[in-house]
Chains A and B, each alone.
Chain A
């Protein structure tokens, strides 16, 4: 994260990322001024509820939001010091194909239903690494076996509908890592899967990341998923980064009341049986009608008039940042 002292330059550096859509009810700012750094080999967990802008943010960084959808994208994205937004379409496709891999949420829809698995894996290799179709097919089989799919030769000749959800997500991971990227983006990679399979997929992602020394962005709405896997966590709410810190600090002492409420809503084994889960009252704000104040204020139990009138900015205190006038666990904060 930005606050961390790292000698080398970050692999990915994002400054003031914005994404807005024009809707019938006026412009909607889905991502509003988000900045972060990601270093080689590190895992950043981006956590937030549905509609908080986490997926849109990450997709906009790699150019998958924008063209054709009428979305407005702003801000600076540096990858290995290169400004991605300044590249020609051809150069950009080169970076995307070789340096960045992505795994989507739903493996039922993220694989082409009418193309054989092997070809879908080999496609990027042929395009970006110049392999001929035979070599690409061989490599595809190797990748399938690497991601733990039995009988890879046979599976490579199958179509996605002949596989289970967990297997398809393994295939999606094989596609993402095929060209040996430096950054792996996992966009809610386990949300659409059975609980029993979720862990296997997360373990696989983590193993591949460590072996290959990739950096990873793990997008999830489940703090529990991010807990054991991410080095750092950025919490998003209503299109803004509201808290960012090392994972253990987030869990030990959240600053932002929203993070605190999220943590409280996780079930714990130590809870007495049949106790109610704590929920956050209210609903996320309408992004087309932003108020001038803190987006979380209407649902926050520490709300003051200042929260309604001013928008808190993400401020850094040592190695962690939060956007709140009344941070928890801090001198002068409400909970101090």
Chain B
């Protein structure tokens, strides 16, 4: 099967499984959106009436396929709670989440790549051991705790950055960045550890290759050997992990957006869960799943950019 078709089939299967699972789980959850909307004092008749209005009285599977049908045409329905179209609600909050994740990844890569390069200069040396310990320390730290530590350090103690809240880019780039630095750091400082470890181990393997010896024999200094010869062929696992970690990053973003009061997709999702706003949760999860699969699809394309051999196999034969 051609590569592209395989990717598309994968996308469809993933989406189907994810949405069905979400639908089931949210339905099993105790609680009812009708009660959330009408309050605890509502009469059973009122609740039953609202449920009928929202279409909640129909069997679950019927509702699911109904939803799936319109989702495929791009309509994710309207929030039970606010009546706002789900697609609109997501698109409004998407820029915040995207910025958070891009900045977090940049921070993670910005730490991981130099640290990995420096630690393979002398494996087992002082820098290598310190960076390994630091990585395990950060990896062991839950992100909500790291977020609070960062707020304490940068906002409370030194008063350098705002603790919570979000400033849109339209109100000034610096103000916007200021409000995003701590949340991105919270995610990035945990994310870099895994990236650094896989890159370091791939670099060590690459450095044993003959073409590295040949590069040294050309008289290239160590840093040029590392940057120009070793880094690119060592980055394939890094790229894979980068794609797969998007899932973890989205999960982290849900929590981090909550801690820093950022109006992102994660907070939208969390609010939906608290309100038993099934249709909103469903739409958001489906959107995230598509995002995840699409990003990994793009990551796969990136291999071809990095490795001419992949290009050869995939696009010429």
A175-B218 in contact (CB<8A): yes
| A166 sits at the interface (CB 8 A) | no
Note all chain A residues with C-beta closer than 8 A to B233.
Answer: 112-114
CB of B81 closer than 8 Å to a CB of A: no
Interface residues of B (CB under 8 A from A): 122-123, 207, 209-211, 213-221, 224, 228-229, 232-233, 306-309, 312
Chain A residues 108-131 with CB under 8 Å of chain B are 109-115, 123-124, 127-128
User: B219 to A68, Cβ gap below 8 A?
Assistant: no
Q: Which residues of A184-231 have CB atoms within 8 Å of chain B's CB atoms? A: none
CA distance A105 to B213 in the complex (A): 12
CB<8 Å pairs between A and B, sample of 12 = A96-B216, A96-B219, A97-B220, A102-B214, A110-B210, A114-B233, A115-B229, A123-B220, A124-B218, A128-B219, A161-B309, A175-B214
CB contacts (< 8 Å) of B312 on chain A: these are: 161-162
Interface residues as binary, A72-95 with B (CB distance below 8 Å gives 1, 0 otherwise): 000000000000000001100111
How long is the Cα–Cα vector from A195 to B8 in the complex, in angstroms? 47
Please determine whether A94 and B219 come into contact, CB atoms closer than 8 angstroms: yes
Asked whether A258 is an interface residue with its Cβ less than 8 Å from the other chain, the reply is no
- Which A residues lie within 8 Å of B221 (CB)? 89-90, 93
Q: Write out the residue numbers on chain B whose beta carbons fall within 8 Å of the beta carbon of A101.
A: 217
A104 at interface, CB cutoff 8 A: yes
The minimal Cβ–Cβ distance linking A268 to chain B, given in whole angstroms, is 34
Is there an interface contact between A111 and B217, defined as CB atoms closer than 8 Å? no
Please name all residues of chain B whose beta carbon is closer than 8 Å to the beta carbon of A97 when the two chains form the complex: 217-220
Within 8 Å CB of B220, what residues of A? 93, 97, 123, 127
For chain A, the count of residues having a C-beta within 8 Å of the partner chain is 35
Alpha-carbon distance A90/B222, docked complex (angstroms)? 10
Note all chain A residues with C-beta closer than 8 A to B219: 93-98, 124, 127-128
Q: Name which of A101, A115, A172 has the most chain B CB atoms within 10 A of its CB.
A: A115
- Find out whether the CB atom of B218 lies under 8 angstroms from the CB atom of A111: no
Closest 3 CB pairs of A and B: A97-B219, A110-B210, A124-B218
- The one of A102, A106, A161, A162 in contact with B217, judged by C-beta atoms closer than 8 angstroms, is A102
Q: Is A62 an interface residue (CB 8 A)?
A: yes
Task: Give complex CA distance A175, B308 in Å.
Answer: 21
**How many Å lie between the Cα of A98 and that of B214 in the bound state?**
13
Instruction: Return the CB mask of A45-64 against B: 1 if under 8 Å, else 0.
Output: 00000000000000100111
Neighbouring B residues of A159 by C-beta, 8 Å = 308-309
The residue from A94, A100, A113 contacting B309, defined by CB atoms under 8 A apart: A113
Known: A114-B233, A115-B229, A159-B309. A68 touches B123 (CB 8 A): yes
Whether the Cβ atoms of B307 and A112 lie closer than 8 Å is: no
In the assembled complex, which residues on chain A have CB atoms less than 8 Å from the CB atom of B216? 63-64, 96
| Bound complex: CA A64 to CA B220 (Å) | 12
Determine the chain A residues whose CB is within 8 A of the CB of B213 once the complex forms: 59, 64, 104, 110
CA distance A105 to B214 in the complex (A): 11
Q: Which residues from chain A contact B232 at a C-beta distance below 8 Å?
A: 114
Kindly list chain B residues whose C-beta atoms are within 8 Å of the C-beta of A96. Answer: 216-219
Chain A 147-162 interface mask (CB, 8 Å, partner B; 1/0): 0000000000001011
Given A114-B232, A159-B309, answer yes or no on A127-B218 (Cβ-Cβ < 8 Å): yes
**Nearest B residue to A104, CB-CB:** B210
CB-CB nearest in chain A for B231: A114
CA distance A111 to B233 in the complex (A): 12
Q: How far is the CB of B173 from chain A (nearest CB, A)?
A: 36
Cα A93 to Cα B220 in complex, Å, equals 7
* Contact among A64, A90, A109, A128 for B211, CB-based, below 8 A: A109
A67 to B63, CA, bound (A): 67
4 additional A-B pairs beyond A109-B211, A115-B228, beta carbons within 8 Å, are A93-B219, A93-B220, A97-B220, A110-B210
Q: How far is the CB of B241 from chain A (nearest CB, A)?
A: 19
Q: Specify which chain B residues have a CB less than 8 angstroms from the CB of A98 in the assembled complex.
A: 219
For A115, list chain B residues within 8 Å (CB). 228-229
- Nearest B residue to A98, CB-CB: B219
Which of A63, A114, A123 contacts B218 (CB under 8 A)? A123
Q: List, in ascending order, chain B residues with CB within 8 A of A106's CB.
A: 210
Could you say which of A59, A64, A95, A162 has the most chain B C-beta atoms within 10 Å of its C-beta? A64
B205 to chain A, nearest CB (A): 12
Q: Which of B214, B215, B233, B308 has the most CB of A within 10 A?
A: B214
Q: CB distance A104 to B214 under 8 Å?
A: yes
Whether the pair A112, B122 counts as a contact (CB closer than 8 A) is no
